[in-house]
A and B are shown apart, each in its own frame.
Chain A
């Protein structure tokens, strides 16, 4: 079974631009979570989607948004990029949402904001 895939793997943007990252979960998985990883703040939870609904949201500004499609694929969008948004963005999928299911991570998208 194919693992979690994320596209693109690397991205360079300039301040003020917006960006969209994509995540395809493992086949059959209905929950997708997004995390931001930076050297200063570590790994931080962004949001979780299950059956096209946002179930949980971390403490990030409204510039960070996401959505999930009927095939469980998910996208996250960051508008008006800031230098501090440079990070590795990790997506994780799981079968369900409740009960702390095991999450399987993708390889990440490395975003650099210049």
Chain B
């Protein structure tokens, strides 16, 4: 069974600084997808970034980028120029290529300090 682990329950960062959230996963599949979702206090789950396992290039979306290490089964999220609005719970998630079922990690609560 696939598992996703986020070892940092809480992280904090100063506004305008950079922070990296860690995620590791376990799977026997070679083709899969990885995601980072954020869940602010409103509880609305919002997609931050998506990575296809077959792509060697790391995905980027504006201030958000990932460091995807397939051999190490590691998928970290870097947030640059952190903003107060980035404060949220961040979830790493895995999906096998043939379906849309998401397996989530435990989440990392990010605090952004002014």
Q: Which A positions have Cβ atoms within 8 angstroms of B?
A: 31, 33, 35, 42-43, 45, 48, 55-56, 58, 88, 90, 92, 94, 96-108
Beta-carbon contact of B33 and A100 below 8 Å:
yes
Minimum distance in angstroms from A63 CB to a CB of chain B: 20
0/1 interface trace, chain B 92-111, chain A, CB 8 Å (1 if under): 00011111111111110000
Beta-carbon contact of A102 and B99 below 8 Å:
no
Partner of B106, one of A35, A42, A101: A42
Beta-carbon contact of B100 and A100 below 8 Å:
yes
Q: Give the docked Cα–Cα distance between A94 and B98 (Å).
A: 14
Q: Give the docked Cα–Cα distance between A48 and B101 (Å).
A: 7
Beta-carbon contact of B100 and A48 below 8 Å:
yes
Beta-carbon contact of A56 and B43 below 8 Å:
no
CB-defined A-B contacts under 8 Å, sample of 12: A35-B102, A42-B107, A43-B104, A90-B45, A98-B98, A99-B97, A99-B98, A100-B32, A102-B47, A103-B47, A103-B100, A108-B43
